[in-house]
Structure 1
Amino acid sequence: MQFHLSLLYLLYYMGLGAYAPYLSLYLYDQGVSGSQTGLILALGSLAGIIAQPLFGLLNDRSKDYRTMLRWISLFSAIVVLSLMLDQGLFALIVCFVLFSFISSPTSPLIDAIAVQYGSRFRFSFGEVRVWGAIGFSVITLIAGYLFHDIGYKYIFAAYALFAILVFLVMFKLPAIPKIKAAKLHVEKGIFFQLVTNWRFVLFIVIGLLVSGNTTMNFNYLSIFLQRLDYPVELVGWSFTVAALVEIPLFWLSYKVIRRFGLFPLLIGSVFMYAFKYVAMSFAPPTYVIILLQAVDGVALVFYFSTAVEIVNQMAPANGKATAQTMFAAAGGIAGIAANMVAGWVVDHQGPQFLFGMMGAIGITAAMLFLLFPAKSGNRQQVQSAEA
């Protein structure tokens, strides 16, 4: 069971690593401006906002957790190939929005499955999520050299290949019993329970700031490096170094979370993100950028490991996938504003100003999490849940 779920993370993040870091470079090669890139990415985020809660709710109501992810993987593999065609801006936007709608629920659904299977089969989220970091680190470096030579349009073919492999692996995961909904859940509905949970809503609202920053960093780091005339191979190395740092930390995240608690690590990771963005705004030497990407990898591990667990604890028993997809959809809301703003800032103020702005946003988010109510309860819950 743990093997197949680890393989699922490995393949999914290999597909993501072959595609996502180089999307903005593909658009740049197509003559798309920074503002137009922001518009395209923002519309993709909007599609994700609509899709993620919808697919999460359908997944919670389905008889089998695996069914939805199978169909999403298959159809995303088919639709992504349309992005390889030579087409105008409008057709490109339509294809990208459709692809984003279909593929965006993949990550939160895998996370929801991992949490459910982990609690049943006694392994931690980090133990399987680490294989995503391994896959991402391996493929990103290879992709940087490969697609620079053969053309960035082939990133879509690579994503399709790995999506098909994810589809096939899903048939190897065993079914697990669905949790029977309590009467209160049936009467009021999962979504209503979540949106009326003020702590859950507050957590998501603060998370919007972090998600907006990570979206801008992920989508515009390659543009930052290109416009400031850093070596082209630094794009691949930057994402690879961050992913390599994640590998041992995901293995250790279970013990570290038990030792320090969810919120202390969450807050520390957001401060680390902010430090990285501020330092990047000074356009440091190449070796410093590599070191800062290592900082980014540490921040990513502890932010997402803790955020997933906190969201899972706040959700009702039969609404875990819905809660995870709502959290991811909130990131999509942040992504709309972030991509639009980032595209304009890059065109009019430059990439260094963008990263300085991201640093200020990150510090604000960390301070708000520091003031979040009843943080100590979450530390005790994770200790007892994973003991």
Structure 2
Amino acid sequence: MGMPFWRRESVSISGLFFFVYFVLGALYPLLSHYLKSIGMSGTQIGLIVSVGPIVAIFAQPFWGMLCDRFQMSRQILSSILLCAAAAALLLLWGGRSFIAFALLYGLLHFFQSGAVPISDGLALQYAAHTGIEFGRIRQWGAIGFAVATLVAGLLADWFGLGAIFYVYTVAQLGAFACLRGVRTERSMGTVNVFKGLARLVRIPRYMLFLMSAFLIFGPINGNNIFFGLLYDSLGGQVAGIGLAFLLFAGSEAPFMKWSGFFIQRLGLEKTILIAGLVSALRWLWYGTSPSPTAVLILFFIQGFSVGLYLASAAQFVKENTPDGLRVTALSVYTSMGLGLGSMATNVVGGMLVDAYGILTTYTFFGVLTLLGLVPLTLVTWFVKRKDTVLQ
């Protein structure tokens, strides 16, 4: 007998998350090295890296509203994955100059930025129907990212840094294949997303959470950009950077899987608050110049902070926004953190590196995250959920 459909769908949606995050692990950790290898200056690399978050600020809400308006999340995500795969090859073949690479990189991010929030929406829908915890699905994204850092690094050593774009393309096709086994359900009637956005703005818990995401999510992504500089300044070897990313990303998976345990015992809001506090303490500790060995030994801090935060944050958005606007709400949240928050953090962080050094940048990350705990505290203890807004 064949595998039951619900089981096949579980494999498909886990595979989807594996590949959606595999593409991120294949491309971004080695992107700056690739740009340097084709003659880009440090300033040019910084400007190119900033293109992604800038595009995401506008692209993610666009894709979210499109999904909620037409109730075709799976079809839209299919198109996004194929277009992103094609854009990666264009980037490799045509992005030899600064202007050309920046434009094509922006095109890639226009499609790429929609994949994560739409996938989250599909997974949350699946979790609601099956009773499976979202963190158990989301953990496959962390596993995919971790495996990708190893695979892409090895292939880049064997065939050159350009290999990361081929790995990216193949992984997008893998995500497309897995998506074919994922079902979606349409809401009754169409959704007026512009009126829906006005409804989202009137949800105090959601707006406070967006403020928090801007302040907490930015440093999380800023660490992906600046960790290499930090590790080098601490006296670590270049080879240790790849090992650190592998350990960091790998540690997220078990904590995402265990997120349901923490949520059941502490509550959703307190789980997010604790994850944010651990993130703040981590950045402040990095700012004190610890030994590279200590950073590697305590790799699991990333899992306890980032893993718990990412798994719990998407669930918070789902539970505090209307069902018909779920993808829009997730996209705006991702745009605020991954887009606007990352852009602002990277710009200020880079200025601090030039003026005061990398340790000051990480102290800044810690202070920023502590500020992000303020709106989270309001959400946890003072601003209660109003179910009438979610109808």
What residue number does 1:350 align with? 357
Q: Matched residue of 1:298: which SS?
A: helix
Equivalent-residue separation in structure 2 for 1:12 and 1:361 (angstroms):
28
Aligned to 2:344: 337
Q: State the alpha-carbon separation in 2 of the partners of residues 141 and 347 from structure 1.
A: 31
Match of 1:100 among 109, 131, 135: 109
The aligned runs of 1:65-104 (5 Å cut-off) are 65-85=73-93, 87-104=96-113
Residue pairs, 1:19-38, within 5 angstroms: 19-38=27-46
Matching of residue 328 in structure 1 with residue 337 in structure 2: no
Q: Which residue identity lines up with residue 311 of structure 2 in the other structure?
A: S
1:319 paired to 2:325: yes
Q: Is the 2:69–2:193 Cα contact (8 Å) retained in structure 1?
A: no
Q: Distance in 1 between matches of 2:96 and 2:263?
A: 48
How does 1:245-264 map onto structure 2 within 5 Å? 245-264=251-270
Q: Please list the CA deviations of residues 205-247 of structure 1 after superposition, one character each: whole Å capped at 9, or x if unmatched.
A: 1210112111211122123334555212212211111222222
1:161 aligns with 2:170: yes
Q: Distance in 2 between matches of 1:187 and 1:133?
A: 31
Counterpart residue number, 2:50: 42
What does residue 5 of structure 2 align with? none
Give 1:249 shift.
1.8
Name the residue aligned to 2:6.
none
| Cα distance change, pair 37–339 in 1 and its aligned pair in 2 (3 A) | farther
Cα separation, partners in 2 of 1:367 and 1:177, compared to 1, 3 Å: closer
Aligned to 2:153: 144
- Within 1, Cα distance between the matches of 2:287 and 2:346? 18
Counterpart contact for 1:143–1:236, Cα < 8 Å: no
- CA–CA distance in 1 between the matches of 2:259 and 2:336? 24
1:213 to 191, 197, 219: 219
From the superposition, tell whether residues 59 and 186 of structure 1 become closer, same or farther in structure 2 (CA, over 3 Å).
closer
SS of residue paired to 1:163: helix
Deviation of the 1:186 alpha carbon: 4.7
Residues 180-223 of structure 1: per-residue CA shift (max 9 Å, x gap): 259xx659721121122232112101210112111211122123
SS at match of 2:90: helix
Instruction: Tell me the matched-pair count.
Output: 377
Structure 2 CA distance for aligned equivalents of residues 280 and 187 of structure 1:
42
User: In the alignment, which residue of structure 2 is the partner of 1:359?
Assistant: 366
Deviation at 1:347, TM superposition (A): 3.2
Structure 2 vs 1, CA of residues 187 and 323 (structure 1 numbering), >3 Å: closer, same or farther? closer
How far off its partner does 1:362 sit? 1.5
CA separation in 2, counterparts of 1:298 and 1:27? 32
After TM superposition, the structure 1 stretch with the greater mean CA deviation from structure 2, 41-50 or 18-27, is: 18-27
TM-score where L is the length of structure 1:
0.90
Q: How does 1:169-180 map to 2 (within 5 A)?
A: 169-174=178-183, 176-180=184-188
Q: 1:33 to 1:340 in 2, by over 3 A?
A: farther
Match of 1:385 in 2: none
Note if contact 1:69-1:106 (Cα within 8 Å) is conserved in structure 2.
Answer: yes
CA spacing shift, 1:370–1:31, aligned 2, 3 Å: farther
In structure 1, distance between residues paired with 2:85 and 2:194: 36
Match of 2:4 in 1: none
- Are residues 1:16 and 2:31 paired? no
Question: What's the TM-score, normalizing by structure 2?
Answer: 0.89
1:62 deviates by 2.2
Q: What one-letter code is carried by the residue in structure 2 that aligns with 1:119?
A: A
Contact preservation (8 Å) 1:49, 1:330: yes
Query: 1:374 Cα deviation (Å)?
Result: 4.7
Find the aligned partners of 2:221 and 2:255 in 1 and give their Cα distance: 22
Give the partner amino acid of 1:168.
A
Q: What amino acid is the match of 1:142?
A: V
Paired residue for 1:122, among 131, 135, 147?
A: 131
Q: Distance in 1 between matches of 2:109 and 2:352?
A: 24
1:145 and 1:129 mapped to 2: Cα distance?
25
Distance 1:165 1:187 in 2: 31
Q: What is the identity, as a one-letter code, of the residue corresponding to 1:172?
A: G
Q: Give yes or no for contact 1:2–1:123 (8 Å, CA) kept in 2.
A: no
Greater relative contact order (Cα 8 A, min sep 6): structure 1 or 2? 1
* 2-structure distance, mates of 1:144, 1:224: 20
Task: For residues 55-104 of structure 1, give each alpha carbon's deviation from its aligned partner in whole angstroms, at most 9, with x where no partner exists.
Answer: 11111122432001100000000001222246121111111111111111
Cα distance in structure 2, aligned partners of 1:376 and 1:348: 40
**How far off its partner does 1:145 sit?**
4.2
Give unpaired runs (5+ residues) of structure 1.
382-387
Flag structure 2 segments of 5+ consecutive residues without an equivalent.
1-8
Aligned partners of 1:15 and 1:159 also within 8 Å: yes
- Inter-CA distance 187–289: structure 2 relative to 1 (3 Å threshold): closer
Partner residue of 1:235 out of 235, 241, 247: 241
CA distance 1:147–1:229, shift in 2 (3 Å)? farther
8 Å CA contact 2:234–2:291 kept in 1: the answer is no
Moved more, 96-105 or 236-245: 236-245
Following the alignment from structure 1 to structure 2, what is the Cα–Cα distance between the partners of residues 128 and 187? 28
* Matched residue SS, 2:379: coil
Q: For residue 292 of structure 1, report the CA deviation from its aligned partner.
A: 3.9
Q: CA RMSD in A?
A: 2.3
CA contact (8 A) 2:139 2:257 kept: yes
In the other structure, the counterpart of 2:62 is 54
Contact 1:142 1:236 in 2 (8 A): no
Mean Cα deviation higher: 263-272 or 55-64: 55-64
2:14 is aligned with 1:6: yes
